[in-house]
Structure 1
Amino acid sequence: MNNKRKITILVAAAFAAAFFSHFFFLREWWNESYMLGPNDGLNQIAPFKELLYNEYTNGNFFYSFSFGMGAGIYSQLGYYYSTNLVYLFSVAVVFLLDTTGIIDSPDALFWAQANVWISVLRVTAIILITTAVFRYMRIQTVPAFVGASLYAVSSIYFRHVVFWEFFADAMLWVPLLIFGVEKIIREKQPAWFVIAVALTVFSNFYFAYINLIFIGMYILARWLIRLEKKEAPLKKQLKHYTLGGLLGFGMGSPGFIPAAYGYFNNYRPPYEEIIPLWDFSDNVLFTSLTLLLPAIFLLFIWIGSFYKNKLFLLFASISLFLIILHFSPLAGSVFNGFSAPRNRFEYLASFTIGGMTAVGLQLLTKVKKSQLIAAGILALITYAVVYAVGDIAEENTNQGLLVLIQAVVTAAAFVLFGWFRRPALGYILLLVIVIGNIVVLNNHQRLELSEGIGVDGVTREYILSGDYMNEEQIRLINRFQAEDETTLPRLDWRGEDVRNNIPLIQGFYGTSAYSSIQNQKMLFLYYEDLEIDMEWESVSRYSGFGDRANLYSDLRGKYLMHAKENEDEVVPYGFEKYMENDNYVIYENTNVLPFIQTTRTIYDKEEILNRSIPEREQAMLSGIILEDPQEAATLPDNSPDILDEAEVVPVNGDYSNGQLTITEEEGGLDIVLGEESEAWEDLYVSFYLENNDQNAPGFLVEVNEFRTDRKPYDSLYRTGVKDITVRVDSADTVSIRLPEGSYTLDELELAGETYETLEQAAASETHEDEEVTIDGNRMSLQFDNTENDTHLTLPVPHELGWSVKVNGEAREVLETNFAFLGTEIEPGENTIEFVYYPPFFRICFIVSLAAFIITALWGMYKWKQKKNSKEPFRY
């Protein structure tokens, strides 16, 4: 059989394995139900794919004004798809189909539908690459293919693809990294190692961290277990690993460094729970979402003679070590960057188990029959014990029984082939391993992912419903967009299912963002500086302005949309009904401030943070807040603490010295202000709140018309923020209501707001001739500073990467109003240009280019060196 035919058969077999391993989800796709998680899949994966496709195909590669209030693409979306090579390839293909008219312009629905097909192609590629690497390690083609299919078609792969699809791309780079290491050890050739490191580092900084930990483990194991008689000396290897690693890192740094900076510029509260060393609750034989061990693995580990083969010993040792780590939350924390323990590294165990299986299959003909029988019995006993002890039999599914049947059939085929040594039985064993694994995982997908975690709810009907991508909502949004030609008018709307990335899906400038990596200045703006409550506590997001009119006006919150059926929705001060259709209404802010705000009134940040929350907002309206200004104005006491004028009355409980005990189903505090409330349009109530019972579930806090959910103490998504500020309509009584329990409710403050400062700011003269042009990562501003103001602020988040020129002269980019862009300006005409590039991008680009040139020269030198030697060159 010639090589072309072998390759064709191998590709066809890989595609067949990939296709049938997705059979359940392909059938679901046919029935308009998609391979995408109901939470992060719909909240992040589909929206980010749509966002970046639109940005990239419009030539915007560095900054997006559509994500939240604005964000760097590499620094805040690098964890997802900014530099993800599989996604970038799919963008190129989809763009070709889009421009030729074969498909309509892709939206979130398209990316949800495409997920399963991209996954089929990814699994095909993983199988082919891994097979090639195993072949290089002197494993025969068919066993290598079987081992590769066990790696690609694994429970951790499907979990990754369904919930965080980009996680699965890390599995492409593992075999390439192993190949690079083996090329250094066997041939002293570092080129593939450099390439593999570069691809890994560029594609995703998070999984580069995990993969490189694994490669370090693999290298240490290879030093202990030599596979070839002639291997590169340790000193030579270290030289190649060090120089090759540095060159690879340098080549991939334009993707890695900005994303890593984004990670360190993020804020996530420290994980405060005690991380146990061991947790053996996961059932890796029957139900595990992250490490479902194939039956052939359990058979091979009992064959003692296999361990005499060094390649089997290598893969088996690492596999067993990684399986042990799977049961250690502490190891999960280490692989997750020393944060909360997560099981995301188990694909590494799937790779070594695949390698161990491939080696074992080609050793099977040499095993004594007694060992075969013993291995089969021990494996089946293990399954039976775990089946009984793990209560699998009592579950109302066929999952445990199917796994058990597959194990029995695999053991039978294993023993028969080992006993009779006939080729036909060998092929039957191979088919049983591959097909059995595919059958088990299709059933696993149905029970654990689709039915167990709600993936079956991600349907075309849901995506096009009022909860997600509703046509009626989008038509109304398009109407106001067609009429509004101002700069970045923002709409507060998150759909009826309250998803923070709805603006990306429905195509408007929003006021919310959800991403694991956020600009910490924006998070602290919400958590501490302005204490903006988002109606439920959760990390990695910011959302809306807490119904606070001052913030809407200052930050370009020009519109607000509600569903008509939600009659209790709040409409902040200054908003008027603007347009509507049958089911939805949009309100317009009559006090929204211009995009360019200039002033000569400067407040000191430290002094402003000692003022009440409404006074902090007033400072942003009447001037600009800077850190350590040379001269600072004094802010008037327009909204002092008026709690002394009110009476605090406990309801259904006791309140003393900041301790609130509620003895009935619901209770709390009433702050009775009486006639004093008539002096204010709105009231701001601030307090410190903590549930004294750390084992209590999450709870609802109600303050008059405002409701906010708080997470339980042990939630991974708890912000740890306990200082709460709520704005409510001015009323005689402000009622704080909590469920039964014991709470620390302290530092109670009450302040009023008349909105005189807002009305003055909105009525003041603006730069009528101002011109704002936004082009990708550039903002060009032109206006006449007739008032001789000294500073400018823009409602665009401040982050590393921005530079500014005023009338052609470089100026310092200032952090204004806690988290936003600003700079000093000149009297008269001002032409200002803000430009954004990812942090350290220019130097990374230079380093990458230099690393590429050095790698090419080094490769040429090694090639000439090899050419002049007696050994044949093997690339």
Structure 2
Amino acid sequence: IVILFITIQALLSFKLYKHYYYKLFAFLTLLSICASFFPFIDQLFNGLSAPQKRWHYLIAFSSAILIALYTKYFRTLSIKNYIFSTLIGLACVFMSAWYYDDFVEWIWFVPVVSLIGLLILLVNEPYVRVNLTQFFILSIMILSILVSIVFIRNQIYYEDHIRRGNVRYATESLYDSPLQQRLVNKMKQHIGDDERIDWRVNDQDNTPMYQHFKGMSLYSSIFNHNILDYYYDALKINMQNESVSIYQSTNGRQNIASLFSVRYLMIKNYQDNIPRYFKKIKSDGQYQIYKNTLTLPSVRITDKIYDAKQLKHPIDREHAMIDGVVLNHRGQSYPHKAENLLNQSHITYHDINHKKEHLIHIAKSNGRIQIHVPKKLSTRYKDFYVTLFVKRGRPDSNFSVNVNGYVNSRLFNNSTYRTGVDTQLYRTQPDKNDNINIDLAPGGDYEVDIKALHGVNYQNLIKAHHSSDFDHHYKNIKNGIKVHLGQHKKGIASINTPYRKGMHAYIDGKKVKPFKVNYMMTGVPVSKDNKEIIIKYRPKYWYTMIVISSICIVASAIWVYFRRKNNI
């Protein structure tokens, strides 16, 4: 944000603080300027998410009023006081330009504004001073316009915005082409309200929003934190490009895709990382469409409850959610833990020097860790999952983790958008030599720990797919969903829509309390005779805030009424 140098003059004009509103907005301006140096304030105004200065309009608002009040009262200043505050304001501007070596056009108009103000103060006749003040106001307006022009040119109409800010870009394959819409509409014709399409235009994480389908990606600084907890902590879903403000796809993990009823996957022909049991059904231009052959119903009812505290690895959590339902502080221990195959494999290091335990140094541009999987294991399992802890040391920089061709881009340690989740799960298959190659780049220091290697055959998913009742499903209604239940036994209905506080559930018209299951899904207890569940959402404290707002409005109206009456 750009604040005119007159703000500094106004803050240093202490004589004018005798005016109540002048003092008020001087204090607010100074407070907001100081607050802009603290990242916590940025987080607070960004929903306690990544620190972003989305509240700077408050600085602009308060400083604009302060400048307006300054133009009203500055004629009462002494020439000495005016020159003192002006010199400090000008010094800030020109020293900044010298330090950053960036003398933008409007800087040369700054002394003109100051000189006009000084000339007005040199006039002794008060009446003439008042009239000449209009020129001072006009000069400030001209300065504001010049600042705006330079700001818009440098901060809005820079090269990338010009490239994307046109109709042509909005209808290209980099954003939203007619072919993409046609393919999306075709897929939508074959899915229900409770099924999803995994498709994302390059880096456009909000593709599902503007192409109007139920998807698996979102870019936003503020959204349901349960989703991020699920991605980052519970299942360690690896996103190709690290960012705290997005979630996207499933990293080719078949179990998760089926748990969230992903029916179709669409990718461009140069992309891969396709879940194991997705079958290619269509190719059109540069687009490939795959269909999930092992789907699970969006609503599943079970009496098998597993305790989340007893599940230590994402693979076990996936299997527990497929075999039953996972709850916090309730249920039994999951009996079928996946075997860690790491001690049956052989690990070698190439172009890597060991400094001490888990600390390595890569002298060249990249180094390689190679896990050799015995033939008896590589032929036994469909997919392998490597649990890998990697943290960048010195020199701090962005880095990449390449696992058999899958490149995971990670951010430098002090990045605003860094997730802070250093342990990641990578799905892969051994190469023709039964090796899993982990390449780290660029060179430098790293902290690395290969924690586990698991093999998966998807037997749990295959069994669940064939035994599932697809008569359980839901459709969208206003402010919620309506769930249809087929024949079932008593248990917990897990619905693969994110749970939020403020949800209300009605089973056959009777109100019940929903709760969080499977780390982020919505759960409702049901008996064998229940036929329908309706789940509605209303923000927490909705009615409380309406009552408080109403009381404040009435109180304000009464206060204004009596104040005016007393003044009369």
TM normalised by structure 2 equals 0.88
Conserved 8 A contact 2:390-2:422: yes
Structure 1 Cα separation of the partners of residues 510 and 96 of structure 2: 74
Larger RCO of the pair (alpha carbons < 8 Å, separation 6+): 1
**What is the CA-CA distance between 1:641 and the residue it aligns to?**
0.8
Work out the CA distance in 2 between the residues paired with 1:442 and 1:478.
Answer: 43
SS for the counterpart of 1:799 is coil
Provide the C-alpha distance between the structure 1 equivalents of 2:21 and 2:483, rounded to a whole number of angstroms: 66
Counterpart of 1:456 in structure 2: which amino acid?
I
Change (3 A) 1:592 1:727: same
TM superposition shift of 1:331: 8.4
Query: Is the Cα–Cα contact under 8 Å of residues 332 and 344 in structure 1 kept in the other structure?
Result: no
The match for 1:699 is 399
Q: Aligned equivalents of 2:110 and 2:336: distance in 1?
A: 77
| Equivalent residue for 1:354, pick from 52, 64, 67 | 64
Query: Offset of 1:388 from its aligned partner?
Result: 5.4
Q: How does 1:613-692 map to 2 (within 5 A)?
A: 613-629=314-330, 632=332, 634-637=334-337, 639-655=338-354, 657-675=357-375, 676-692=377-393
The 2-side partners of 1:849 and 1:316 are apart by 28
Counterpart of 2:19, as a letter, is: K
Alpha-carbon distance change, 606 to 332 in structure 1, aligned in 2, over 3 angstroms: closer
- Identity, % of aligned positions: 23
Alignment of 1:253-402 (within 5 A): 290-294=1-5, 296-297=6-7, 306-307=15-16, 310-311=19-20, 314=23, 317-318=26-27, 321-322=30-31, 325=34, 328-329=37-38, 343=53, 346-363=56-73, 371=79, 375=82, 379=86, 383=90, 386-387=93-94, 390-391=97-98, 394-395=101-102, 399=104, 402=105
Q: Deviations over 1:458-486 (max 9, x none)?
A: 3123232222222221111011112x142
Alignment counterpart, residue 522 of structure 1, candidates 224, 227, 232: 227
- Residue in 2 that maps onto 1:585: 288
Opposite residue 406 of structure 2, the aligned amino acid is F
Distance 2:188 2:51 in 1: 44
Residue 571 (structure 1) aligns with = 274
Query: 1:447: Cα distance to partner?
Result: 2.2
Which runs of no fewer than 5 residues in structure 1 stay unpaired? 1-289
User: Structure 2 CA distance, aligned partners of 1:762 and 1:667?
Assistant: 42
* Structure with greater proportional strand content: 2
Return the alpha-carbon distance in structure 1 between the equivalents of residues 523 and 88 of structure 2: 70
- Whether the 8 Å contact between 1:603 and 1:635 is mirrored in structure 2 is no
What is residue 415 of structure 1 aligned with on the other side?
Answer: 118
SS at match of 1:606: helix
Provide the rounded CA distance (Å) in 1 between the counterparts of 2:231 and 2:201: 21
CA distance in 2, matches of 1:407, 1:633: 72
What residue ranges of structure 2 are gaps of 5+ in the alignment? none
Residue 533 in structure 1 maps to residue 234 in structure 2: no
Match of 2:200, SS? Answer: coil
Matched position secondary structure for 1:465 = coil
CA distance, structure 2, for counterparts of residue 683 and residue 516 of structure 1: 33
Cα gap change, 1:517 to 1:326, in 2 (>3 Å): closer
Residue 723 of structure 1, CA deviation: 1.3
Contact 1:784 1:828 in 2 (8 A): no
State the SS of the aligned residue for 2:363. Answer: strand
Q: Does 1:716 align with 2:416?
A: yes
Provide the rounded CA distance (Å) in 2 between the counterparts of 1:322 and 1:579: 59
Amino acid at match of 1:437: S
CA distance in 2, matches of 1:629, 1:571: 35
2:256 counterpart residue number: 551
* Equivalent position to 1:513, from 192, 195, 218: 218
User: What SS does the corresponding residue of 1:679 show, helix, strand or coil?
Assistant: coil
Q: Which residue of 2 aligns with 1:764?
A: 467
1:490 and 1:557 in contact (8 A); partners too: yes
Cα distance, 1:413 vs. partner?
2.6
Query: In the TM superposition, what is the alpha-carbon distance from 1:865 to its structure 2 partner?
Result: 8.3
Q: What is the Cα deviation at residue 556 of structure 1? A: 1.0
Q: 1:634 to 1:718 in 2, by over 3 A?
A: closer
Are 2:439 and 1:733 equivalent residues in the alignment?
no
Does the C-alpha gap of structure 1 residues 570 and 825 become closer, same or farther in structure 2, counting only changes over 3 Å?
A: same
Q: Is residue 243–residue 417 contact of structure 2 (8 Å, CA) maintained in 1?
A: yes
- How far apart are residue 767 of structure 1 and its match? 4.2
The one-letter code of the counterpart of 2:542 is F
- Is 2:502 aligned against 1:801? yes
In proportion to residue count, which structure has more helix?
A: 1
1:310 deviates by 2.9
Return structure 1 stretches of 4+ with deviation > 6 angstroms.
301-304, 337-341
Question: What is the rounded CA distance, in whole Å, between the counterparts of 1:326 and 1:847 in structure 2?
Answer: 28
Question: Alignment partner of 1:450: what SS?
Answer: coil
Residues 1:434 and 2:141 aligned together: yes
Deviation for aligned residue 1:704: 0.9
For the Cα contact (< 8 Å) 1:300–1:375, is it kept in 2? no
CA deviations 1:621-646 (Å, max 9, x no partner) are: 1211122335x374324x31111211
Letter in 2 for 1:458: R
Q: Give how far 1:405 is off.
A: 2.5
Partner of 2:174: 467
C-alpha spacing 1:394/1:822, structure 2 compared with 1 (3 Å): closer
Q: Kindly provide the amino acid, as one letter, of the partner of residue 653 in structure 1.
A: I
Q: Is the 8 A contact 1:782 1:829 kept in 2?
A: no
TM superposition shift of 1:574:
0.9
Partner of 1:10: none
- Given that 2:429 and 2:436 are in contact with CA atoms closer than 8 Å, whether structure 1 keeps it comes out as no
Could you tell me which amino acid in structure 1 is paired with residue 476 of structure 2? I
In structure 2, C-alpha distance between the alignment counterparts of 1:386 and 1:866, rounded to whole Å: 45
Conservation of the 8 A alpha-carbon contact between 1:647 and 1:671: yes
1:505-540 CA deviation, whole Å, 9 max, x = no partner? Answer: 111111122222232222121112111111122113
Q: Which residue type is aligned with residue 274 of structure 2?
A: V
What is the distance in 2 between the residues matched to 1:822 and 1:426?
Answer: 68
1:598–1:791 CA contact under 8 A, matched in 2? yes
Aligned pair in 2 of structure 1 residues 535, 408: CA closer, same or farther (>3 Å)?
same
CA separation of 1:382 and 1:866: change in aligned 2, threshold 3 A: closer
Any idea what the Cα deviations from partners look like across 1:550-575, whole Å, max 9, x if unmatched? 110111111111112x1x42221111
- 1:668/1:736 contact within 8 Å kept: yes
Corresponding residue number in structure 2 for 1:844: 545
**How far is the alpha carbon of 1:719 from its aligned partner?**
1.2
How many angstroms does 1:697 deviate by? 0.3
CA distance in 2, matches of 1:334, 1:573: 40
CA separation of 1:377 and 1:832: change in aligned 2, threshold 3 A: closer
Shift of 1:381: 7.7
Label 1:439 to 1:805 Cα distance change in 2 as closer, same or farther (>3 A): same
Retained in 1: the 8 A contact 2:261–2:295?
yes
Choose from 476, 486, 494 the match for 2:200. Answer: 494
Amino acid at match of 2:525: E
CA-CA distance at 1:785 after TM superposition: 2.3
CA gap 1:343/1:649 in 2 versus in 1, 3 angstroms: same
Quote how far apart the aligned CAs of 1:581 are. 2.1
- In structure 1, distance between residues paired with 2:58 and 2:392: 41
Once the 2 structures are TM-superposed, how far is the Cα of residue 772 of structure 1 from its aligned partner? 3.0
Residues 492, 544 of structure 1: 8 Å contact kept = yes
Separation of aligned partners in 2, 1:865 and 1:315:
21
- The SS at the match of 1:569 is coil
8 Å contact kept, 2:244–2:417: yes
